[in-house]
Amino acid sequence: MSSVSVELASYLNTHGQLVQALEGLSEEQLRWKAEPSSWSVTEVLAHLADHSIVVSFRIRDILADTKVQLPAFHQDAWVSGQHSNQGRAADSLELFRSLLHYNSLLLGRLSDAEWEKSGINFKGETVRITDIVRGFTAHVERHLAQIERVKRGAQASQAASAAQASQQAAL
């Protein structure tokens, strides 16, 4: 299997990993936040959908040979500005899946030489399409770990609330 095939398979696997991470979570757990400035699972998913949009643009800009600096985005401002925690996690996950599929069709059509095409990112670094796809996959994996931390926090919070309610009922 070529390295491009491996990159593409890992890229496509990110959706399944997210679906698995969300199994059994209630809407309350999806929206739970450890503190106002931290992200809920719903907000993490909205961010990943936003990131997919930006990555989609970056790949297409490189393929078009525009030679302009690839765009950055202000993730916290995007998440808060969209009121992401008031949205539905399922909607963000569906957008993520759709873009993943659509981009995979494009990536599957690229020659080995096109996978090596590059652009300049917002840090002034040269990045190839291969790097962007690999970075996207690693980015999702980091957020999967964040989702696990948020899930544990939500479950602990629910358990503490249940224990407190039980104690109050006993009084």
Q: How many helices (H) and strands (E) does the chain have?
A: 7, 2
- Over range 118-134, report the average pLDDT: 95
41-63 and 129-170 helices, crossing angle to 10°: 170
**pLDDT of 68 strictly over 80:** yes
Res. 161: pLDDT tops 80: no
pLDDT of residue 98: 98
**Across the chain, what does the average pLDDT equal?**
93
- Tell me how crowded residue 13 is: count the other CB atoms within 10 A of its CB: 14
- Mean per-residue pLDDT for 140-161? 92
Task: Tell me what the mean pLDDT of segment 48-54 comes to.
Answer: 98
Residue % of the chain over a pLDDT of 90: 84
Q: Give the integer Cα–Cα distance in Å for 72 and 70.
A: 7
Q: Do 129 and 114 meet the contact criterion of CB atoms below 8 Å apart?
A: yes
pLDDT band of 2, cuts 50, 70, 90: low
pLDDT for 160 = 82
Task: Give just the sign of the alpha carbon dihedral 72, 74, 78, 79.
Answer: positive
Residue linked to tokens 């599957």:
108
Q: How far apart are CA 142 and CA 35, in angstroms?
A: 20
Q: Of residues 163 and 110, which shows the higher confidence score? A: 110
Alpha carbons 51 and 14: distance in angstroms, whole number:
13
pLDDT tens digits along 3-31: 777 789 999 999 999 999 999 999 999 99
Question: Is residue 125 over pLDDT 80?
Answer: yes
Q: What CA–CA distance (Å, rounded) separates 118 from 62?
A: 6
Higher pLDDT, 33 or 2: 33
